[in-house]
């Protein structure tokens, strides 16, 4: 669904993305990995259109710049790492902002809002003011908003997650990643996520791309990609491996 070909970004002479070519399929969770400064966030911004990179980025074969804004918003959404929102919207009103590109009747909109808030487990604080919520609660509200935004997609939508677990506690991190995994498997979402925890990468990603100084170092399934040598090379850390009861490996 998403195809990047020779994407480069060089603001003020500094090469932040260097000839990146990757493709993301519908129905997969695609991890972006790399040490700090490797270009993960820049790449995500190039895909979301926040920065203008050279090269070609297409969604369903059509260059992003050629999409109608509203149509693109129905098919591509970004879950922000944090939000600047300081005005006292209720959680429900924030979710309702996901209606912006859609055309729905009032009743349809109301039932979809409820549905997405249940799905992301934020229905219980629907009427509380957004600025009074904890970091984790805010992110779930934002996720509900983003899911609402994608609810009228005619093709499988693409969801971009920028460090989605940074403000969450352990249980919430797994709930969120499990939910995105379900969206990929059951509803065919393509999910591109920046993740730092390699165990989460092993557990939830289907494929991942390892970035190094703005260029693609490797693309593979996580268990093949995350060899001891690569981890040592990119993160300067020698991991230990523990085989779990279910046969999966965990890194310590």
Partner 1 sequence: MQRSVSLCALALASLLIVCALLSLVLGAMNLPVYDSLLIVVDKLFGANLSQLEDYQQIVVLELRLPRLLLAVFVGAILAQCGAVVQGLFRNPLADPGIIGVSSGAAVGAIVAIVVFPAVWGSWTIPTMAFVGGLLTTLLVYGLAQSKSGTSVLILLLAGVAISAFAGAAIGFLSYFADDASLRELNVWQMGSLTGANDANLWLAFTTMVLLMIAFQRRAQALNALLLGEPEARHLGIDVEQLKLQMIILTAVGVGVAVSCSGIIGFVGLVVPHLVRLATGPNHHFLLPLSALLGAVLLMCSDLLARLVVQPAELPVGLVTVLLGAPFFLILLIQQRKNWS
Binding site for partner 1 (CB under 8 A): 48-50, 69-74, 76-78, 80, 83-90, 93-94, 97-101, 149
- Shortest distance (Å) from residue 77 CB to partner 1: 6
**CA–CA separation, 146 and 164 (whole Å):** 13
| Residue with smaller CB distance to partner 1, 2 or 99 | 99
Residues paired with 190 in a beta bridge:
158
- Shortest distance (Å) from residue 89 CB to partner 1: 6
**CA–CA separation, 151 and 75 (whole Å):** 9
Helix boundaries (H) for the chain: 40-48, 69-75, 91-96, 106-119, 135-149, 170-187, 198-204, 222-225, 228-235
Task: Give helix 135-149 / helix 106-119 axis angle, nearest 10°.
Answer: 140
| Residue with smaller CB distance to partner 1, 110 or 242 | 110
| Residue with smaller CB distance to partner 1, 109 or 179 | 109
- Shortest distance (Å) from residue 99 CB to partner 1: 8
- Shortest distance (Å) from residue 158 CB to partner 1: 11
| Residue with smaller CB distance to partner 1, 84 or 236 | 84
| Residue with smaller CB distance to partner 1, 14 or 69 | 69
Residue 52 burial by CB count (10 A; 0-12/13-18/19+): exposed, middle or buried? exposed
How many H-runs (helices) and E-runs (strands) does the chain carry? 9, 12
- Shortest distance (Å) from residue 42 CB to partner 1: 14
């Amino acid at each position: 669904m998403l195809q990047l070909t020779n994407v480069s970004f060089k603001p003020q002479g500094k090469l932040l993305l260097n000839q990146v070519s990757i493709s993301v399929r519908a129905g997969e969770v695609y991890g972006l990995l790399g040490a700090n400064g490797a270009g993960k966030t820049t790449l995500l911004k190039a895909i979301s259109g926040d920065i203008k990179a050279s090269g070609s980025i297409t969604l369903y074969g059509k260059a992003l710049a050629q999409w109608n804004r509203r149509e693109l918003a129905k098919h591509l959404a970004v879950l922000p790492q944090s939000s600047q929102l300081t005005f006292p919207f209720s959680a429900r009103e924030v979710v309702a902002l996901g209606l912006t590109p859609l055309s729905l009747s009032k009743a349809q909109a109301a039932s979809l809002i409820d549905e997405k808030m249940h799905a992301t487990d934020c229905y219980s604080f629907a009427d509380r003011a957004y600025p009074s919520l904890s970091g984790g609660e805010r992110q779930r509200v934002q996720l509900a908003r983003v899911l609402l935004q994608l609810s009228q997609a005619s093709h499988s939508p693409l969801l971009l997650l920028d460090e989605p677990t940074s403000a969450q506690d352990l249980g919430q991190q797994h709930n969120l990643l499990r939910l995105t995994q379900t969206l990929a498997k059951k509803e065919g979402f393509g999910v591109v996520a920046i993740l730092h925890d390699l165990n989460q990468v092993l557990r939830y990603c289907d494929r991942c791309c390892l970035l190094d100084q703005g260029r693609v170092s490797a693309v593979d399934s996580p268990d093949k990609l995350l060899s001891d040598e690569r981890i040592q090379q990119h993160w300067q850390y020698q991991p230990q491996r523990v085989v779990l009861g279910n046969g999966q490996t965990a890194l310590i």
